[in-house]
Structure 1
Amino acid sequence: MIIFGRFIYSIKIVIMTITTGFDKKYHNYGISQSHHRNILLAISIFAMALVVIIIAYQIFTFGNQSEDTIYVPLTLDDVSSSPIIVLNDELPIADKTNSSCSHFGCFNIYRCGMKGNRLLVYVYPPNEFLDSSKKSITSGMSREFLQILQAIITSKFYTADPREACIFIPAIDTLNQNRIKTIGVSQALRNSEFWNGGENHLIFNMVPGSFPDYNTSLDVSLGKAMIAGAGFSTITYRYGFDISIPVFSPLATDLRTRLHEKKSYLIVSAQININTAFEQDLIDIQAASPKDILILRSCSNHKSMTNSIRCVDEKMLKYPDILRSSTFCLVIRGARLGASVLMEALAARCIPVIISDSAIMPFHNVIDWKRAAIFIREVDILTTYSTLKSISSKRIEELSQHGTWLWNKYFKSIEKITKTTFEILTDRVFPQLARDYNYWNIPAASTSFPPLFLPITAPKTHGFTAVILTYDRLELLYSLINKITQVPSLSKILVIWNNKKKNPPASSRWPKLNKPLQVIRTKENILSNRFYPYDEIETEAVLSIDDDIIMLTADELEFAYEVWREFPDRIVGFPSRTHAWDNGTNCWRYESEWTNRISMVLTGAAFHHKYWSYLYTTAMPGGIKEWVDEHMNCEDIAMNFLVANITGKAPIKVTPKKKFRCPECTNTEMLSADLAHMAERTQCINRFSRIYNTMPLKSVEFRADPVLFKDVFPEKLKKFNSIGSL
């Protein structure tokens, strides 16, 4: 009816438009009325034919205009009510699972990024699929699969609009291969509206394949779909494409443990489905030390088959509670590679001992399992006792603590497992934002890693970017630029033009250089502009330098950069200052006297890592950055506080250069010439220490100089000759 109405209305509009225009011409040109009627009839027929063609096109494309479709967000209540769909038995089956699929071959990355750097996941509305004889194909949903869908729908990843989705989740329970009908599920998946051969679809499976190939890929036609499966084998796992998840254990979630719980056994084996080849090996291991090793089996005399009990001869023990009494828990290759005992061991603070050569560990691509588990080759199973006995108590404590941390962070609930799965996919889809090893494997409270999240070694990329903050002193600026370009390791010069009332000079007036130079005009005149992490800074090393520091030589700057490469987490530079406690005022005092002690290196001429610029701009505590911008002072002190607070280390002064005066400048041009300058710097020290609730600055009696710069040696033997004494 809607289309028919559009048809009639379109005809009316076209005829009225044409006839109105023709009437005007008819009167103007004096055409006879009968002739006018014939022409009008022909035009009307032509107009009707044209409108018919237009409407036919609209009818053809009506079903494909996704802009007219409104997608309602899926709710948790929708999952419990499933519309019924009857499938045709003769529906062709999709291609089998592609064993050669990779992220670059079977995944369409161009579907992602519709809403910026967000991974958006669409969940199909749930349906009840029946075959032609009206028998159910999927038999409803398990509690675990329902929890997966709930976790997605209530997460930041969910989208109700399939047009902007990157990942698609069919609402078909495929967690347990034994509960589904292979052909029926293949047909149901192929019936999915956006299936497209399985492209960008993710299928969950927690009951893995069995011997001989431990095929975790479901025996259904999945095409290009990814699998989030448990118990993957190195044979069937598609690296960089599938995601290995754990076999979830409801028993583990109810397990309660206590710190420093007494351990009665060194080793416990509690699996009831281990490979028969290892049965005799376990008996031999137990014979070596019966008191240290406990082997549990299923209770054959018990009426009902239950996972919550284990037996030793006729003695019944509650499971998995018994795992708490052991230091190590064996996870041996069984009828399936995926075993719930891994999660149960982590929940019980029992260190897993993995004896399964071909198993892919859960989330193996981001989690370093060697920090929480012991791995023993299957061929070395008889050495298990001696290997575990030799592990120190300190190492045991580390393994136990890290295993507990992994359990709480990634595996404690279906929601955590689901969230981690999509976090891994996010890193894969947006590699430029991928989290590093430390994010996935080191607790946030740990201080055992460098604050830059980098090893404290020389950076891989060579060179530095000179960031010059300037206002209007062009002659000094040009002189400084000409000097800096003589430094061999210079990669680029970035001039930060802080004068919003005056345009920077035309390109023809700048010095002719052999290194790139870019000028960035800021929106306002604030000192923090020197620490903004500009995209134009492509190096890790940044030389922050004022436009009046023209007394440094190329050798001095090159040497300072070499020192920074050895200490990339420090501020390394030339002008140094210190702080001291004043007993008279009970406050900290800013000192600029020349002493053997330093606690600050001023960023008027200093190297630092670009990471500190990012933190200064985005994570400076207590409104320090705003206070600095308002008072036009102390940005260098604020940077020293920031770095010292995170690293716990002092800055490094290089070369004996002490005088940093500007001979060409008048006192009215120099900020430091103000009589109140020193008093305000002291005020900064005390204000910042109150905000940090501590004094993070570290004092040190240390200076870095070239080895031979004071020795009487031929210049050709020295690398840095132009280093002055003051």
Structure 2
Amino acid sequence: MEREVLLHSDTEYRGRNANCTFWDCLNIYKCEHDKLKVYIYPLQEFLDEKSDKVASTLSSEYFQILETVLKSRYYTSNPNEACLFLPSLDLLNQDMFDKHLAGPALSSLNFWDRGENHLIFNMLPGSAPNYNTILDVNIDNAIVLGGGFDSWTYRPGFDVAIPVWSPLVQQISTAPIHNGLHRNYLLVVAQLNILPQHARTFNELKANSAEKILQLGSCGGNEIEARCSSAPHQKRFEYPRILRRGQFCFVGRSLRVGQPDLIEIMSQNCIPVLAIDNFVLPFEDVIDWSLAAVRLRESELHSIIRKLESISSVKILEMQKQVQYLYTNYLKDLKTITITALEIIESRIFPLLARSSRQWNTVNKNSHSTFNPIFLTSLVPKSQGFTAVILTYDRVESLFLLIQKLTVVPSLQSILVIWNNQKKMPPHLSTFPTIAKPLKIIQTRENKLSNRFYPYPEIETEAILTIDDDIIMLTSDELDFGYEVWREFPDHIVGFPSRIHVWDNSTMRWHYESEWTNQISMVLTGAAFHHKYWSHMYTYAMPGDIKHWVDEHMNCEDIAMNFLVANLTNNPPIKVTPRKKFKCPECTNTEMLSADLNHMRERSACIDRFSKIYGRMPLRTVEFRADPVLFRDNFPEKLKRYNDIGSL
């Protein structure tokens, strides 16, 4: 303890500035570094000069928070370089400090300045009889990291909602809790301070669904590590372990809005069911709680069983996995909670350092997971670029020429060469052209055309350019423009050579047509952009025996990919640029797979076969082509962005 500070308890009460925003109550000019810096005030004892009462006593929980900041990358011992200031005054629980002395204690701090750039940690605000959802303390313009916010008291973009910590989770076993559907109860209600009207609703629901609901209460006394069923057959259960017997666990309104039950429930991998109107959930700014929790209006509590039963088993498993991920990464202890809160504030001050919403909410975000492009933002970030995946067998000269052409494309991020020849080793990397972009070679175990669509972990970009080793006629402008089109339509296949399917009335079958027309329904993946999610779907979720048939016949992998994407999106592919001729000047026809007379017949058979497997014809025929702006206009070439676009 550094020193005592004498306080005047009759200091005027001002409360807080309810209108604070990031732009007017935070001085970002103090944050001159590219990282957040937090100064911790020395430990002090704040005494009332009249009564000798202490404003607040330091709890073990608040000591852990201070220690976490002290040992983190955010700490600075120099207040002159600090962006934010953290008082050593413990305001976590309003029942544990004198609210009349806490305000003067804060005002006495050397750098207080009406709370500007100061952080206040609080988990249990308000006291009897009102139990306000914000501290009854003079905090002026300080940022509140609070556990009891509702939508009326939370200042979006300024305050940070944090969870109410429960010391019970530190006492439970660290053994992993497995997810699954085989739990005893659909819903466990074990909250002690549940409102009487909610308790009555559950009693009514149990009359018809007794086997689905486990409702527990206090076992008497002050014991919080056990829950008991109602009389006459009162049975005792260990808490919070009993929560792992339910697929869903209830969190309802009580005297205070924020409840420690939420963390206790998530520690047992139970899916929270929240019935607290206007409650601001922990870290709501960055966490998508719809992936891990069910929210109900308090007035709809009577329909809780019907709503939970409507959730599919697949969705339940996904939510359990998300609960485990959120708890482990953001909620498992006070250290994790503190660091998460500081990172959220840092992302507001330095948005270029911020994680995306997807990164905050994605399980196994470091394992190159894929995302359905149907739900992506309307424009993919340009800076990411694309990965060129080249499928090759033994045409080394053509391969090297293609690599040299690709490396000058501005949006190229990296090149992945898929060597499909198991009888011969690929050329040594030292013999490849020297390029400025990363290049990797993978030799496959089997010669399959589907190898071009495998979701290789080496692919770090969302966009993939699948290209054959003999497509060396495309220009840098054409490829760069193709990527720009894909960025606007990431759920489509975007490419250069196009084809169409037609119905043959004489044979009553679908027919593959390669004639040049203005209509298209397929884009060949020998030169096309697609989202890496489709590679994942092609490899692991292709319906029927399509993938096996493609690998066995060494044909139609491009048609299969077009079917897959069209079936899931109902969108046609997009052809870019007018080029229609795709011939390899270095190759002879005898080397090309498409030279086989049976090739075209098989492709027609593919379309017919695939449509039967899907039970419909998902391919859509359109008359559309994407060309650069000013492509055909009489305009100075130097002012056009893409000049080198091939002709018919």
Structure 2: where are the runs of 5+ without partners?
Answer: 417-427, 443-455, 476-554, 560-572, 582-624, 633-643
**Counterpart in the other structure of 2:459:** 645
Match of 2:240 among 320, 325, 332: 320
Paired with 1:338 and 1:366, the residues of 2 have a C-alpha distance of 18
Paired with 2:470 and 2:130, the residues of 1 have a C-alpha distance of 66
C-alpha displacement of 1:284: 1.4
**Counterpart in the other structure of 1:335:** 255
**Counterpart in the other structure of 1:184:** 101
Paired with 2:49 and 2:626, the residues of 1 have a C-alpha distance of 89
Report the CA distance shift for 1:179/1:718 in structure 2 as closer, same or farther (over 3 A): closer
Mapping for residues 608-623 of structure 1, pairs under 5 Å: 608=411, 612=413
Question: Identity of paired residues, percent?
Answer: 34
**Counterpart in the other structure of 1:449:** 370
C-alpha displacement of 1:571: 4.2
C-alpha displacement of 1:386: 0.9
**Counterpart in the other structure of 1:658:** 473
C-alpha displacement of 1:278: 1.5
C-alpha displacement of 1:255: 2.3
Report the CA distance shift for 1:243/1:214 in structure 2 as closer, same or farther (over 3 A): farther
C-alpha displacement of 1:569: 3.6
**Counterpart in the other structure of 1:247:** 164
Match of 1:603 among 406, 411, 433: 406
Match of 2:222 among 305, 308, 323: 305
Higher helix share: 1
C-alpha displacement of 1:242: 0.8
Report the CA distance shift for 1:176/1:112 in structure 2 as closer, same or farther (over 3 A): same
Mapping for residues 363-378 of structure 1, pairs under 5 Å: 363-378=283-298
Q: After the TM superposition, which of the residue ranges 408-417 and 285-294 deviates more from structure 2? A: 285-294
Q: After the TM superposition, which of the residue ranges 246-255 and 640-649 deviates more from structure 2? A: 640-649
Kindly provide the amino acid, as one letter, of the partner of residue 418 in structure 1.
Answer: T
Paired with 1:168 and 1:271, the residues of 2 have a C-alpha distance of 36
SS of the residue 2:409 aligns to? strand
Which structure has the bigger radius of gyration?
1
C-alpha displacement of 1:602: 3.4
Contact 1:655/1:705, CA 8 A, preserved across alignment: no
C-alpha displacement of 1:636: 5.6
SS of the residue 1:103 aligns to? coil
Kindly provide the amino acid, as one letter, of the partner of residue 336 in structure 1.
Answer: R
Report the CA distance shift for 1:344/1:306 in structure 2 as closer, same or farther (over 3 A): same
**Counterpart in the other structure of 1:131:** 48
Contact 1:267/1:330, CA 8 A, preserved across alignment: yes
**Counterpart in the other structure of 1:556:** none
**Counterpart in the other structure of 1:666:** none
**Counterpart in the other structure of 1:426:** 346
Indicate whether 1:107 and 2:29 are aligned: no
Mapping for residues 88-237 of structure 1, pairs under 5 Å: 88-89=8-9, 92-93=11-12, 95-113=14-32, 116-133=33-50, 135-209=52-126, 215-237=132-154
C-alpha displacement of 1:650: 4.7
Kindly provide the amino acid, as one letter, of the partner of residue 638 in structure 1.
Answer: L
Question: Residues 163-195 of structure 1: CA distance to partner in whole angstroms, max 9, x if unpaired?
Answer: 111111110110110111122111111110100
SS of the residue 2:187 aligns to? strand
**Counterpart in the other structure of 1:403:** 323
C-alpha displacement of 1:433: 2.0
Contact 1:347/1:404, CA 8 A, preserved across alignment: yes
**Counterpart in the other structure of 1:381:** 301
Paired with 2:402 and 2:299, the residues of 1 have a C-alpha distance of 58
Report the CA distance shift for 1:578/1:85 in structure 2 as closer, same or farther (over 3 A): closer
Question: Residues 71-106 of structure 1: CA distance to partner in whole angstroms, max 9, x if unpaired?
Answer: xxxxxxxxxx3532222446x446320111111111
Paired with 1:339 and 1:265, the residues of 2 have a C-alpha distance of 22
**Counterpart in the other structure of 2:567:** none
C-alpha displacement of 1:200: 0.5
Report the CA distance shift for 1:454/1:438 in structure 2 as closer, same or farther (over 3 A): farther
Kindly provide the amino acid, as one letter, of the partner of residue 651 in structure 1.
Answer: T
Kindly provide the amino acid, as one letter, of the partner of residue 30 in structure 2.
Answer: R
Report the CA distance shift for 1:88/1:708 in structure 2 as closer, same or farther (over 3 A): closer
SS of the residue 1:228 aligns to? strand
Paired with 2:139 and 2:415, the residues of 1 have a C-alpha distance of 44
C-alpha displacement of 1:321: 1.1
Report the CA distance shift for 1:211/1:173 in structure 2 as closer, same or farther (over 3 A): closer
**Counterpart in the other structure of 2:422:** none
Paired with 1:600 and 1:639, the residues of 2 have a C-alpha distance of 12
Contact 2:28/2:349, CA 8 A, preserved across alignment: yes
- What TM-score do you get using the length of structure 1 for normalisation? 0.58
Report the CA distance shift for 1:200/1:708 in structure 2 as closer, same or farther (over 3 A): closer
SS of the residue 1:306 aligns to? coil
Structure 1: where are the runs of 5+ without partners?
Answer: 1-80, 462-538, 542-567, 582-588, 616-626, 661-698, 712-716
Backbone CA RMSD of aligned residues? 4.0
C-alpha displacement of 1:298: 1.3
Indicate whether 1:633 and 2:633 are aligned: no
